[in-house]
Chains A and B, each alone.
Chain A
Amino acid sequence: MIDYIRWVYQWFKGEILAIPGRVIAVVFFTFLLLLPLITTSPSTLRFLIMACIFAIFAASWDLLAVTGQVSLGHALFFGSAGYTAALINIHFGLPAWITIPLGGLSAVVVGLLAGIPALRLRGFYLSLVTLAYPVILTGIIFVFPDFFGGEMGLIGISRLSGSRVGDYYTVVLIMAFSGFIMWKLSDAGSKVLRTGVVFHAIREDEIAARNSGINTVRYKLMAYAFSGFFGGVAGGLYIHFIRIAGPSSLEVFFSVQALLWAVFGGMGTIYGAIVGVFILFPLTEYLRIYEWGEALRFVIVSLVLIFILLFMPEGISVWVLDKIEIRCRRCKVVNIATRRNCRTCRAPLRLEREK
């Protein structure tokens, strides 16, 4: 038992405490978990629940971007899963913990269908095609107003859980868990999963990836499936939280927002997308308090975005990590930037210039 505790402590010290980025992630997550002890004000919780849902959504967009496919219609997954979950919930009376995964699975199917054009199109052309997807879905919804609720949307959806605090914990835990899974899926340094390396290789050079024996068709569809699933989970959580499934979640602007959040935080990193949402979404909502903010908030947020990206072109999280972390040149272990020698191999982290 003592040995076990010691092992856990050693693991925590080596894998979390020694790496500044992970310390920040753990502190932030702990803060989210402890927050209801400080305040249970419904507006604060509501606002953080939304942020968590959008964080899953932005991260799922980023998972697709890791393979070099910039989607401008990511709301497709969000919306289709939302409608699926809502319909199942209303017609069959199934609870949220069944409808949300089912919604995610429906988004996987939609994702695989949406992924077919991606096998032939690249870059801008692909982005343009993805722009059309949510528009098509909106069209379908308006064709069958009785079934899909038309402009008003579907109402009468059951709650996520019994209370606001319950909703909050559900969403925070799902956000942390799915964020971790998506990060692992896209992490090129992972020792367990190979998908990260493969996704990065496809983004860098698809021809070289094929020549290395990677079935790029399979992995691209896989990226669509995973991205669709997590985007769908976000959509399912959203409709169960606001308890209405309407066409507003399929708007072009909503898709573009996923892109803005992820690019602002750091594209292709997953955690960057989450950071982006937790900075930009509160800012947008905070400005609403003021009378002038309601009209001007997107102008202000856009200006912030432009100025930050001017100084930190790779996104805010990449920029910050670059300042606080330093990677050992010999053993590739990440160290805190204040160290002079690598914590595992003792190699000097900075070289004095020879004169």
Chain B
Amino acid sequence: MYLEVNGITVLYDRAMVLNDVSFHVDKGELVSLVGPNGAGKSTLLRALAGLIRWEKDTLKGTTLGKITLEGSVLFGGEEMMRLPSHDIAKRGLILCPERGRPFREMTVLENLEAGAYLVKDKGVVKETIDRVYGLFPVLDKRRGQVSGTLSGGERTMLSIARALMSQARFLLIDEPSVGLAPLVKEDLFSRINQVHGMGITILLSEQDIGFAFDLATRNYVMSRGKVIAEGRADDLLADELIRKTYLGL
């Protein structure tokens, strides 16, 4: 197993956000996490990327800093929970945050260069930039534009492109389709498929069930901080209880 998550629990003070979550992702898979608002999808991805630990450390001693974080995350056989987030990124496990979060006052090209911070070889950087532009022609057109002026879809693409720049092997994409128009969504859909085709393992969280189920090879359904079901799209949709209660279809 490529990524193995065992019993992750996250509490913000007395509020339980993740309750003993366990799952796994194999190499080359495209797995989706679906579930309603507040199910803990984003927190789970942030925990995998080491951001909850970072949050816990930086807020230590404040009233907001009472965060409990337990469990284990094995990535390629190595324990990730004890690593700081920049070291997790070094291993190739990269988070694309919700709504892209580009460095807003930098141009698209500068964003990509910042993403390539981990790559020392300038030739490789140049090569990757060309490859990324091939994958997202929109970004090529906008290369000199300040990224704060990009549209929502372009921002999401930029964040995926930025993750690819750091030679990602495993992408965690948080709600890629949030707030996008249907046509843009379709475009993004095929881009993510292409990225997956390049041999990159992807775990994405999503609220749009259609988008997630069409894209993913396997799905996890989350609710109130727990993984409550797992399976292929057809199996999940066949289950009356899951379909009605959690997917709202």
A329 and B62: CB pair below 8 A?
Answer: no
A322 lies within 8 A of chain B by Cβ: yes
Contact with B along A320-350 (1 / 0, CB 8 A): 0010000001000000000000000000001
B61 and A312: CB pair below 8 A?
Answer: yes
B56 CB to closest chain A CB (Å) equals 13
Please pick, from B16, B20, B63, the residue contacting A318 in the complex, using a CB distance under 8 A: B63
B62 and A314: CB pair below 8 A?
Answer: yes
Inter-chain CA distance A329–B15, complex, in Å, is: 10
- Closest A residue, CB atoms, query B9: A353
Inter-chain CA distance A329–B14, complex, in Å, is: 9
B19 lies within 8 A of chain A by Cβ: yes
- Closest B residue, CB atoms, query A314: B62
A319 lies within 8 A of chain B by Cβ: yes
Inter-chain CA distance A311–B65, complex, in Å, is: 12
Contact with A along B1-31 (1 / 0, CB 8 A): 0000000010100101001100000000000
Q: A329-B14, A350-B14, A351-B14 are in contact. Are A322 and B19 (CB under 8 A)?
A: no
B63 and A314: CB pair below 8 A?
Answer: yes
A313 lies within 8 A of chain B by Cβ: yes
A351 cross-chain contacts in B, Cβ below 8 A: 14, 16
Inter-chain CA distance A355–B9, complex, in Å, is: 11
- Residues of A291-313 at the interface with B, using a CB-CB cut-off of 8 Å, are 310-313
A146 lies within 8 A of chain B by Cβ: no
A205 lies within 8 A of chain B by Cβ: no
Please pick, from A313, A350, A353, the residue contacting B62 in the complex, using a CB distance under 8 A: A313
A325 CB to closest chain B CB (Å) equals 11
Interface centre among B9, B16, B19, B62 (most CB of A within 10 A): B62
A332 CB to closest chain B CB (Å) equals 14
Contact with B along A239-267 (1 / 0, CB 8 A): 00000000000000000000000000000
A311 and B61: CB pair below 8 A?
Answer: yes
A148 CB to closest chain B CB (Å) equals 45
- Closest B residue, CB atoms, query A319: B61
Interface centre among A313, A329, A351 (most CB of B within 10 A): A313
- Closest A residue, CB atoms, query B20: A355
A354 lies within 8 A of chain B by Cβ: yes
- Closest B residue, CB atoms, query A318: B63
B14 and A322: CB pair below 8 A?
Answer: no
Inter-chain CA distance A354–B224, complex, in Å, is: 13
Inter-chain CA distance A314–B63, complex, in Å, is: 8
Majority SS at the chain B contact face: strand
B14 and A313: CB pair below 8 A?
Answer: no
B11 cross-chain contacts in A, Cβ below 8 A: 353
A313 cross-chain contacts in B, Cβ below 8 A: 61-62
A353 and B16: CB pair below 8 A?
Answer: yes
- Closest B residue, CB atoms, query A311: B61
B14 cross-chain contacts in A, Cβ below 8 A: 329, 350-351
Inter-chain CA distance A310–B9, complex, in Å, is: 27
Inter-chain CA distance A353–B61, complex, in Å, is: 23
A353 cross-chain contacts in B, Cβ below 8 A: 9, 11, 16
B248 CB to closest chain A CB (Å) equals 25
Interface centre among B11, B16, B63 (most CB of A within 10 A): B63
Please pick, from A322, A329, A354, A355, the residue contacting B63 in the complex, using a CB distance under 8 A: A322
B62 cross-chain contacts in A, Cβ below 8 A: 313-314, 318
B19 cross-chain contacts in A, Cβ below 8 A: 354
- Residues of B56-72 at the interface with A, using a CB-CB cut-off of 8 Å, are 61-63
Contact with A along B63-83 (1 / 0, CB 8 A): 100000000000000000000
- Residues of A25-74 at the interface with B, using a CB-CB cut-off of 8 Å, are none
- Closest A residue, CB atoms, query B11: A353
- Closest B residue, CB atoms, query A355: B20
B63 CB to closest chain A CB (Å) equals 5
Inter-chain CA distance A95–B60, complex, in Å, is: 51
A311 cross-chain contacts in B, Cβ below 8 A: 61
B20 cross-chain contacts in A, Cβ below 8 A: 355
B16 CB to closest chain A CB (Å) equals 7
B16 cross-chain contacts in A, Cβ below 8 A: 351, 353-354
Inter-chain CA distance A312–B90, complex, in Å, is: 32
Inter-chain CA distance A221–B61, complex, in Å, is: 34
A354 cross-chain contacts in B, Cβ below 8 A: 16, 19
Inter-chain CA distance A318–B61, complex, in Å, is: 10
A355 cross-chain contacts in B, Cβ below 8 A: 20
A312 cross-chain contacts in B, Cβ below 8 A: 61
A309 CB to closest chain B CB (Å) equals 9
Contact with B along A151-179 (1 / 0, CB 8 A): 00000000000000000000000000000
B63 cross-chain contacts in A, Cβ below 8 A: 314, 318, 322
- Closest B residue, CB atoms, query A310: B61
Inter-chain CA distance A312–B63, complex, in Å, is: 9
B61 cross-chain contacts in A, Cβ below 8 A: 310-314, 319
B9 cross-chain contacts in A, Cβ below 8 A: 353
Given A312-B61, A351-B16, A355-B20, 9 more contacts at CB 8 Å? A310-B61, A313-B61, A313-B62, A314-B63, A318-B63, A350-B14, A351-B14, A353-B9, A354-B19
Question: Could you list some 10 contacts between A and B, CB below 8 A?
Answer: A311-B61, A313-B61, A318-B62, A318-B63, A322-B63, A329-B14, A350-B14, A353-B9, A354-B19, A355-B20
The 3 A-B residue pairs with the shortest CB-CB distance, nearest first, are A314-B62, A322-B63, A313-B62
